[in-house]
Amino acid sequence: MAKVNISLDAELVVEVMVLAGVGSPQDAVEAVVRDYIARGHRTEARVQLQDEPRRDADGVSQPPQG
């Protein structure tokens, strides 16, 4: 797996370490990134579930009006 080196504000990393309950900056940043990705996947799944009833309703032919 490829590795990326970045610079971050130390106070941000320490705050994440405390909130996530991890002991290393590397683990803290990985936890944040993994959480962000998981949240994105959950959002995609919810949007997809909300769109399904709309698609089903669109597929039903409406009786002629007028």
Which tens digits make up the pLDDT trace of 11-46?
999 999 999 999 999 999 999 999 999 999 888 888
Q: What is the pLDDT, as a whole number, of residue 49?
A: 79
DSSP annotation of 61:
P
Residue whose token pair is 């797996």 = 1
Is 40 or 53 the better-scoring residue by pLDDT? 40
Burial of 54 (0-12, 13-18, 19+ CB in 10 A): exposed
Give the side-chain half-sphere CA count within 13 A for 46: 6
Q: What is the pLDDT, as a whole number, of residue 66?
A: 60
Confidence of residue 62 (pLDDT cuts 50, 70, 90): low
